[in-house]
Structure 1
Amino acid sequence: MIIGTAGHIDHGKTSLVEALTGVNADRLPEEKARGITIDLGFAYAPTASGSVVGFVDVPGHEKFVHTMAAGAIGMDHGLLVVAADDGLMPQTREHLRILDLLGVPQLSVAITKIDLVDAQRVQAVTREVLDHVGLTRFGEVEAYPVSVRTQAGVAALQAALFALRLSQPSEAPSYFRLAIDRVFVVKGMGVAVTGAVIAGRIAVGDRVRLAHAGLEARVRSIHAQNQSAQQATVGERCGIVLSGVDVEQVTRGDWLVGPELDLQTVRVDCLLSVPHDAERVIKDGELVLLHHGCQQVSARLILLDRGQIGAGQEAWAQIVLDRPLALCWQDRLVLRDASARHTLAGAQVMDIAPPVRGRKKPERFDVLATLQQADPVTALLGLMDRARGPLDLTHWAAAMNRSAELLLRALEPRLALQLQDGAHQLILGMEAQSGLTERVRACLDAFHISDPDEPGLAFERLRRMAVPDLQASVFKVWLTAQISAGTFALTGSFVHAVGHKVELSGPERILWERALPKLLDGEFDPPWVRDVALMVSASEEEVRLLFKKQARTSALTQLVKDLFYPDATMSRMADMIRETVGEQGFVSVINFRDKLGIGRKRAIQILEAFDRVGLTRRLVSLGRTGRAVEKDHRILRNAALFRGAQQDVQP
């Protein structure tokens, strides 16, 4: 359990923490000399149940509000401290806003210095504070009048705070996250960082990442809640000694995370919330300071559903950051004005990879409302229902700090299809699968009606015509699966509707039956178009048009202008390439030329044709001077091409 103080300067926060724990949280010499808190202070106290309660003492001066916001990260309970002689003050309101906007779960109020005023004043201040707190998300809270000097009420407040229990959500983030608020060196050990664990757990020996720096380290030792420990978990403050990094590489404000979390972003869509007592409106396009843990970055605010937002209102907004941050779904942010004098609003992260185009469309607001759901499975089911294509489960699992395997297990009953795009796992709901299939089918049907002599559409052209908003690699993976399932067909590199076939006219069929044997008889050196035309007593143009038509169906492969190879010949040459690669590991122009008994120029043309269709890949390496070619050979890229029926050929 982590309890954090909040309140105006000189209202007795540090003295109250000392009275509750016996520890003076001011650790800096300047703090002790001036009697004010400048940086975050920490104190720990054991409870009767054997657990340890940690206190975070934050500075109350307006110059250090950013430090207070950093200390509020990871608080399980807020303790608002108000002096009875002063009452509500500017920083009291400011700190309360931050606790409210950062989503601190619970709040108690301590009315301090009651020995300096009469009972009537204590009652009036208590009523004023509780009325003000009641207008926030916290609603009705408990207030405790105390005096550190006389110890009046301290025991009652201590009993109430030490009896608090950390609520354990049924569904929680999976992987470790800690906002670093201190960095120092432990002699003989290594670099140490401290902060509150806000997600997951960490154990000695674990690998971790510095999110912003992008460096990996190992956990050498852990100090949790002021005690040596083998592990630390949510609800605990801890110090972690790292090995594998230097102190210059670790900065306050960075996040220490599990190796599974490697996403950073410079653009997020959020739900913006303005406090009920905000002094002014926020306008579209405004420059703000954004606080995330101990990080403070400049950002531009783009309001999506209105031109400005005022006190007590909520709005959808896109925030553009001036440098990348390691944010997660439903993280809480605080926005202050560019001069860092006023807390303007809070923001809850919804999407860490939002679109720029179409960000103000009504359907986009439906997506953001879906992401507002507290349960990740419910949110993902809503996204699946609204998606026009496959959903990247790998991305969303990392963005939500959840295990992809556990999410998949929960979503599986509602899935129509699961796909793999490299390292990314894609999922489709029933509605998305049906809609995507129908759009592609309608596009192919229309194309076959308008161009009946064309065999079909290449993958990328089909994507641009049917679903241009879908990523090319994702569409290719999806369409390949549909072809394998028999929903669509593939001839060569052309996708078409099942049953569609390019038909030759009567005269074309007669000409083809006469011309094909001439090409086959030429084996590895077939005749050119003009020669075939002479052999079959037809015009060059008739033969050329027929061969081009057949090349679109993959019955022929065109090497250069007016030179075509039949599929059977291409298959024989492909077998020779596979055999040579199997023996030597590669095929060169020279050994291919010798194997076919043809000229070097023709061998190069054939190999380049195989490069184009994807059977081979050319590899060229230069000598030490960088000028002379040392090696020039081919390896297999897709060995399945030109093997068996052309319907089995993959793009």
Structure 2
Amino acid sequence: MKNVIIGTAGHIDHGKTTLIKALTGRETDTLREEKDRGISINLGFTFFDLPSGKRAGIVDVPGHEKFVKNMLAGVSGIDVVLMVIAADEGIMPQTKEHLEILQLLNVNKGIIVLTKTDMVDPEWLDMVKEDLREELKDTFLENADIYPVSSKTKEGINELIKAIEDMTEHIETKDVQGHFRLPVDRVFSITGFGTVVTGTVISGCIKEGQTVQIYPSKVVTKVRGIQVHDEPTKIAEAGQRCAINLSNIKKTEIDRGDVVSIQNLMEPSMMIDCKLYYLKSASKPLENRQRVRLYNGTSEIICRVVILDKECLNPGEEGYAQLRLEKPITCQRNDRYVIRSYSPMVTIAGGSIIDPLPKKAKRFNEKYIEELKLKESGDTSNIIGKIIEKLSSKFPNRDEILKALGKNEENISDEIEELIKSQKVVSFSNGDKKVYTHVNYIDKKVKEMTSILKEFHEKNPLKWGVSKEELRIRVLGKDIKQKTYDKLLELLESKELIKIHGKYIAEHNFNIEFSKEQKAIYDRIIASYKKGKYSPPKYEELISREQNQIEFKRVYEAVLEEGTLFKVNEDCILLTSDYNEAKEKVRKYIEDNGEITVAQFRDMMDTSRKYSLAILEHFDGIKFTKRNGDERVLY
């Protein structure tokens, strides 16, 4: 069954609240001040059952110009608007402002309700209808049906209910499969239950017991209970108004305008890129860096408008803008927003969010504006490509791409595969998740690596390369995860862009080339270790025999770096082939005999107790063997 939210709109004292009471039998003015003054100040919420059995939520918004910000919070998430116009007054200033707000928020289904018909004669009513048709030209209500009603006598109420039912049949089904989002419009505490928030679920669903996060504060809490239309339920979904009882969180930790959503789904931002339409009714041009009030979801935030593609915006013009906020916002791509002037507070603009997490932009940057046009176009594959390129240094996984995409799209696998096949994006496994980076980023970093390695090889022809750690910090920064870095190096080596040599990185075509003298030293070093076997020579002993000790030191370090020698500890260095042989003999001996002692190893390898201890303690350290008293077993 479709979930439906109906909202009222219209000028103060045109009978919105009284109409809802006539439709539902319930009051939505709950504050004493509202009852005393006869006007709605805050949002009112109720529901009623349509003849088909479908239950519709109703939001009653205030009509007074002082409370438009409350009205803006209320219309977030509505499907059908009842544009309430008093027959004795016709269209008034707040009628027009509410209509502009609804159009900016892309509300496109509505019914015109002429109230207080019991106060006018039929001729006046016909004249008002004609005036409405003229006033509402070029709006989404241009061809909307007009229903005259009297909330006092109930005349026309049944016909209005039938019209509401008919219109709800044409409402698109909400995205219940997407990520859960609920902009908070009320927060209160109930003794014995704790903190409760209310709002309209604009996407996804929420279940009792589920962990959620409050944005932008990122406080984590759990859903203790849910009510939809005053009835307890285990689940609430897109298109429903609901109240959520949250556990272990204070009322003071949540404000109207916050968003309840899935943990780690969203990222608060101090800037948003958007398409901005400046209303024809605006009294003067919108200047660059003008201070204004931004309304998105149920939030109100002061910000400055940086106009990116024009000097200023004249009434009726549109352009691209970056809104720089005075406090963080949590929103998603394609969310609608409204802008009101800072003072006096008048609705002047609105539009859709293109990028909820942009970088700070310079004005009149053609490349940046072209990227905004691409993002606005809705070409998801290209947009994802741009997001991956922007986030390349962080090697984003799918969830991080979705977060940056700023939309509740569950499946982006096809788009990512398309980017990989077209060789725009590279992917590799990083533990239990795949991560992605852009080929432009790879190309840039390979150039940086190549420059560093080339310079290093020229200065150090007998060294195998730059250490992995040094190259990581110099090229990629210290924040890159080790697993990601290792996988990236493997990828670059597989493409023959670098060569991995133990803990060193070299240019792909690099090899150490010894001079005749150096080759002779190299051969003497290898011969000495072959002769010594498991009673190896000491470094001091070898260098003391050499006439050119500086050259010997260079060659010796090269032999260590290339991996021909293996350092067990400072006093025990073996040929790597001998080290591997010792390891294999120990494994086989323990498998055959269950354990091995130092003496048994000493005799088997024909060495001294000193070197036996050094090698076996090394095996313990790398968790190849485990000491158990005087014996050792396989780890």
Same fold at TM > 0.5: yes
Aligned to 1:273: 277
Rounded to whole Å, the distance in 1 between the matches of 2:373 and 2:446 is 31
Q: Whole-Å Cα distance in 1 between the matches of residues 142 and 542 of structure 2?
A: 90
Residues 440 and 66 (structure 1 numbering): CA distance in 2 closer, same or farther, change over 3 Å?
Answer: closer
Q: Which residue of 2 aligns with 1:479?
A: 488
What residue is the counterpart of 1:121 in the other structure? 127
- Partners of 1:444 and 1:158 in 2: how far apart? 70
Q: CA distance change for structure 1 residues 457 and 541 in 2, over 3 Å: closer, same or farther?
A: closer
TM-superposed deviation, 1:477: 5.3
Q: TM-score, normalised by structure 1?
A: 0.75
Contact 1:459 1:476 in 2 (8 A): no
Q: 1:456: Cα distance to partner?
A: 4.5
What are the within-5 Å matches in structure 2 for residues 138-153 of structure 1?
140-149=143-152, 151-153=154-156
My pick for the range that moved more, 303-312 or 2-11, is 303-312
In structure 1, the residue matched to 2:539 is: 527
Give me the whole-angstrom Cα distance separating, in 1, the residues matched to 2:45 and 2:39: 14
Q: Provide, for residues 217-255 of structure 1, a one-character-per-residue CA deviation record: whole Å limited to 9, x for no partner.
A: 433433213444332211111122333334444443332
Alpha-carbon offset, residue 50 of structure 1: 0.7
Q: Establish whether residue 198 from structure 1 lines up as the match of residue 202 from structure 2.
A: yes
Alpha-carbon shift at residue 44 of structure 1 (Å): 1.5
Aligned partners of 1:442 and 1:234: how far apart in 2?
A: 49
Is the CA contact 2:210–2:223 (under 8 Å) kept in the aligned structure 1?
Answer: yes
1:29 aligns with 2:32: yes
The answer on whether the counterparts of 1:269 and 1:351 sit within 8 Å (CA) in structure 2 is: yes
Question: Counterpart amino acid of 1:394?
Answer: D
The count of corresponding residues between Structure 1 and Structure 2 is 580
Counterparts of 2:326 and 2:471 in 1: how far apart (Å)? 38
What corresponds to 1:111 in structure 2? 114
Residues 224 and 296 of structure 1: CA distance in aligned 2, closer, same or farther (over 3 Å): same
Distance in 1, matches of 2:290 and 2:416, equals: 40
Does the 8 Å contact 1:460/1:472 carry over to 2?
no
Q: Which of 92, 96, 104 is the aligned partner of 2:95?
A: 92
For residues 238-253 of structure 1, what are the structure 2 equivalents within 5 Å? 238-253=242-257
- The change in CA–CA distance for 1:170 and 1:322 in structure 2 (over 3 A counts) is closer
Q: Which residue of 2 aligns with 1:11?
A: 14
CA deviation profile, 1:472-498 (whole Å, cap 9, x unmatched): 879725523415645443113333444
Aligned to 1:611: none
User: Paired residue for 2:80, among 56, 77, 80?
Assistant: 77
Kept in 2: contact 1:270–1:348 (CA 8 A):
yes
Counterpart position of 1:367: 371
CA separation of 1:169 and 1:506: change in aligned 2, threshold 3 A? farther
Distance 1:523 1:303, change over 3 A: farther
Whether 1:58 aligns to 2:61 is yes
Distance 1:203 1:405 in 2: 19
Shift of 1:159: 1.8
Corresponding residue for 2:403? 398
TM-score (norm 2): 0.76
Matches within 5 A, 1:458-497: 476=485, 479-483=488-492, 485=494, 487=496, 488-497=498-507
Secondary structure of the corresponding residue to residue 406 of structure 1: coil
**1:299 partner SS:** strand
Q: Distance in 1 between matches of 2:447 and 2:270?
A: 38
Structural mapping, 1:222-261, within 5 Å? 222-259=226-263, 261=265
Aligned 8 A contact 1:514 1:536 in 2: no
Counterparts in 2 of 1:567 and 1:237: CA distance versus 1, 3 Å: farther
1:40 positional shift: 0.4
Distance 2:96 2:505 in 1: 64
| Aligned-partner Cα distance in 1 for 2:397–2:491 | 18
Paired residues of 1:183 and 1:247 also in contact (CA < 8 A): yes
In structure 2, give the amino acid aligned to 1:6. A
Query: Offset at 1:596?
Result: 9.5
Cα offsets for 1:65-112 (capped at 9, x unmatched):
111111011111222223344343332232222222223242333333
State how 1:357-506 maps to structure 2 within 5 Å. Answer: 361-374=365-378, 379-380=383-384, 383=387, 392-400=397-405, 406-408=411-413, 411-412=416-417, 414-416=419-421, 417-421=426-430, 425-427=434-436, 432-433=438-439, 435=440, 439=444, 451=457, 453=461, 455-457=464-466, 476=485, 479-483=488-492, 485=494, 487=496, 488-506=498-516
Describe how 1:209-220 pairs up with structure 2 within 5 A: 209-220=213-224
Partners of 2:207 and 2:355 lie apart in 1 by: 30
The residue identity in structure 1 corresponding to 2:504 is F
Q: Is this contact kept in 2: 1:200–1:234, CA < 8 A? A: yes
Distance 1:303 1:477 in 2: 43
Corresponding position: 1:333 with 2:337: yes
Q: 1:319 aligns to what?
A: 323
Q: 2:68 matched to 1:68?
A: no
Match of 2:591 in 1: none
SS at the partner of 1:80? Answer: strand
Offset at 1:122? 0.6
Contact kept? 2:183, 2:297, Cα under 8 Å: yes
**Displacement, 1:188?**
4.2
Residue ranges of structure 2 left out of the alignment (5+ in a row) = 588-607, 625-635
DSSP-derived class of the 1:181 partner: strand
Q: 1:443–1:466: 8 Å Cα contact kept in structure 2?
A: yes
Unmatched segments (≥5 aa) in structure 1:
580-594, 604-614, 617-633, 640-651
CA RMSD of aligned residues (A): 4.5
Deviations 1:407-451 (CA, angstroms, capped at 9, x unpaired): 3366445535433457864235xxx44x55555666666677664
Q: Which amino acid aligns with 1:427?
A: Y
SS at match of 1:98: helix
Query: Cα deviations across residues 317-357 of structure 1 (Å, max 9, x unaligned)?
Result: 33333333332232223232333612232243333332237
Structure 1 567/446 Cα, relative in aligned 2: closer, same or farther at 3 Å?
farther
Distance 1:142 1:519, change over 3 A: farther
**Superposition pairs of residues 529-548 of structure 1, within 5 angstroms:** 532=542, 534-538=544-548, 540-547=549-556
**Is the Cα–Cα contact under 8 Å of residues 524 and 569 in structure 1 kept in the other structure?**
no
Determine if the alignment matches structure 1 residue 41 to structure 2 residue 44.
Answer: yes
Please tell me whether the aligned partners of residues 392 and 436 of structure 2 are also in contact (alpha carbons under 8 angstroms): no
